[in-house]
Structure 1
Amino acid sequence: MPELRLATFNCENLMMRCDFRRAGIKRARERLTEVDDALVAAQVDSVFNVLSEDDRTLTAEALSVTQAEVCALQEVENLVTLTAFDTRYLARWSGAEYEDRILLEGNDTRGIDVGLLSRLPVIHYRSHARETYGRLGLSPPNGQSVNDYAFRRDCLEADILKDGRVLTLFVCHFKSMYGGRHKTRAIRQAEAQAVRLIIERRFPDPAAAEWVILGDFNDYFERDGQALHDHGLGPLVDDGFAVDLVTHAVADPYDRWTHHYNGDDTYGALDHIFLSPALAQRNARPHVRIVRAGTPFRARRYEGARFPGVGWSEPKASDHCPLAATLQFEGRPLAP
């Protein structure tokens, strides 16, 4: 039975902001979003040195500790940024570049997207960024219309092949809490419902199929270890449609946090890996790791060792922690 090491990580503003008119690179803007080419990444980077050396070194070190074969990433600007990060930073720590790099442009107004790095073949992938509430048959939240996009960023669907078997991933980055957690909850709830509908459309019997939803969902089931019931992720978990891996695998609720918000010094798990019921049953005791060594020292609940160079607030790997798990799956046979 195949075994897969999987991670999700919000890299926090992994961006390459360039003055394209000065770059001297033909079709620079288009190429940044369509070419998986380390030479293009190096050319842009050599002109502007646009990736922060300290922060991105720590980001790469944190991600490499997961030893993940497949990494779902959030807050990545474009494909060349992802390539530059992989080839210039991550490969130094992990020992080799990732063979497959996937990023499709989503809907975020800041230009941050979800992406995928994989050492395994990605045999199929597609974006759901252009799904509207109307096409999905969803009632839009207040202030939205049926013609508005259902996802603030994207839901990236990808089929991963290992040992002749296929596992499907859905990589997400839901609406932030900016503007207030309760005021923005309805949007995240609609996004959760949209992911569920996409999975139900893909799999005739979702409970019996094997799939994973993972990413930054910008909402938590617990805050400072105390259970909450006012989150926007109900469509994914309330009736057992999916199982939250960390809740399932980590007994101590105080040890489930992946994010520290310095504004009110609270700790919660914004990053999740959700398993289908069949996959959760197969992984009754999964190995789960939350990598906190790249968090700044102001996140005082973590008392373990930090990576060299981490500061009180900066530099840091991210404002999130990588979440990783080793999963066994039966999957589906590769179609002839």
Structure 2
Amino acid sequence: MSHASSRSPGSCFRGWLGLARARSLTASGALAAALLVSSAATSSGCGQDGRIRDGSSGDAGGGGSGGSGGGGGGGGGGGAPRDPMPLRVVNWNVRNYLNDKNDSAAPDEVIRTTTQYTKHRQAIGAVLSAIDADVVVLQEVENEAALSDLVQSELGGKYPGIGIVDGNDPRGVDIGILSKIPLDQVVSHKDEQFPLNGTVGPTYRFSRDCPEYHLTYNGRKVVLLGVHFKAKEDDNPNKRLAEAQRTRAIANALVKEDASRAVLVLGDFNDTPGSPPYLAILGEGEGVYTNAPDFVPVNDRWSYDYQGTLELVDHQMSHPFMAGMLDQTSASIRHGDDVDAATDHAPVIATYAVK
């Protein structure tokens, strides 16, 4: 496994595990070989952002609603219908998961003691072992080394697919992925500049990144867009709205490029349902996304305790095509002493019957 690091706008990172190999998963979802990710050359290979080449602004309700008919029952190329296979997905902010080494280029890097690092890693591992998801998208992770330590020391090596890109956070906390399924591609958007929709400026960049994690499961192309907006008290509301609009534009373009894709937008929005950034990603009309926590019982429908107020700020939104695969009864938000020992956010969990 090698760490994917971004050096240019819209850099692409491709796993040298071929698509054909990624599609050879057995019905049990058997583990494949370890992910090898390397940096693609420059933005000329991917366009400015790796996806959006037509100047689309990606308004809140626009685009992406046509995927439900694409690709046939077996995904991408059509063919015979496949039996659905469950894909268990979790997103979780693990609050400053930083290691005990000076191994980051971040200007404000914090180095934990070995005792602090080990304790935090073990606490995260205990929760993830209990959840046993197929794909895990984590926020506030330092680097690939910390993810590899987590997988090897606490998770029994069950996640050969590890992806992370050094984003824009000065502390070096990034959005990473652990996957039992090989990753086909990782695309970073950290260097893009974009205005608020309907304006020409000022332009903004993602506070962290909006990485695309591509994989193939049961013949279906699945893309997960990782989200981590800054806390509201530390952020410009126009900037966070522009980030949300750009996130939805990226998602729209992914589906426009290939209507057979199943797309998820997930992570720590640091915003509650009904807020402008939340609505910008959710969309409207035929293009409206489905948020898995909507199906969690009301008393458990929160992911963060803000000064005694229980708020839902972590979300897992699915494009209409992917939403059709969601097992609504599977949606949950895990609370408990084990979660509290690891972080101040609760993990969001849902299963999709992918076909």
TM-score, length basis structure 1? 0.71
Q: Distance in 1 between the 2:303 and 2:291 partners?
A: 14
Secondary structure of 2:343's aligned partner: coil
Q: Aligned partner of 2:317: which letter?
A: F
Q: Which residue of 2 aligns with 1:321?
A: 346
Distance apart, 1:13 and its partner CA: 0.3
Q: Please state whether the residue corresponding to 2:166 is helix, strand or coil.
A: coil
1:218 aligned partner: 270
Match for residue 187 of structure 2 among 126, 131, 138:
126
Q: How many residues align?
A: 266
Deviation track 1:72-124 (CA, whole Å, cap 9, x = no partner) reads 00000111122122222x32xxx434101111110111111000001101111
Look up the match of 2:152: 87
Match of 1:288 in 2: 331
Mind listing any 5+ residue stretches in structure 2 that lack a counterpart?
1-83
Q: Is the 8 A contact 2:245 2:280 kept in 1?
A: yes
Deviation of residue 184 (structure 1)?
3.9
1:98 is aligned to 2:159 = yes
Question: Which residue number corresponds to residue 170 of structure 2?
Answer: 109
Instruction: Indicate the percent of aligned positions where both proteins have the same amino acid.
Output: 29
Shift of 1:185: 3.3
SS of aligned partner of 1:155:
coil
Partner of 1:256: 301
**Cα distance between partner residues in 2 of 1:230 and 1:324:** 22
Check whether the contact 1:120–1:162 (CA below 8 A) recurs between aligned residues: yes
SS in 2 for 1:289: strand
- For 2:231 and 2:247, locate their aligned partners in 1 and report how far apart those are by CA, in whole Å: 17
CA distance in 1, matches of 2:148, 2:199: 38
8 Å contact kept, 1:188–1:233: no
Amino acid at match of 1:109: P
Partner residue of 2:202?
Answer: 145
Q: Which amino acid aligns with 1:275?
A: S
User: Residues 167, 209 of structure 1: CA spacing in aligned structure 2 closer, same or farther, 3 A cutoff?
Assistant: closer
CA RMSD of aligned residues (A): 2.8
State the SS of the aligned residue for 2:281.
helix
Which AA in structure 2 matches 1:193? Q
Mapped to 1, the partners of 2:284 and 2:151 lie a distance apart of: 39
CA distance in 1: counterparts of 2:230 and 2:334, whole angstroms: 24
Q: Which runs of 5+ in 1 are unaligned?
A: 21-27, 33-44, 222-228, 294-305, 331-336
Give the 4+ runs in structure 1 shifted more than 6 A: 205-208
1:1-336 correspondence to structure 2 within 5 Å:
1-16=84-99, 18=101, 20=102, 29=104, 49=114, 51-88=116-153, 90-91=154-155, 95-133=156-194, 139=199, 145-146=202-203, 148-149=204-205, 151-179=206-234, 184-204=236-256, 209-221=261-273, 229-240=274-285, 241-247=288-294, 249-250=295-296, 252-261=297-306, 264-283=307-326, 285-293=328-336, 306-307=337-338, 316-330=341-355
**Is the CA contact (8 Å cut-off) linking 1:9 and 1:323 kept in structure 2?**
yes
Distance in 1 between the 2:280 and 2:158 partners? 37
Instruction: Give 1:68 deviation, angstroms.
Output: 0.5
Deviates more, 1:233-242 or 1:201-210: 201-210
Q: Following the alignment from structure 1 to structure 2, what is the Cα–Cα distance between the partners of residues 258 and 207?
A: 32
Per-residue deviation, residues 219-269 of structure 1 (Å, max 9, x unmatched): 112xxxxxxx4442111224153111111x22x3332101112xx211111
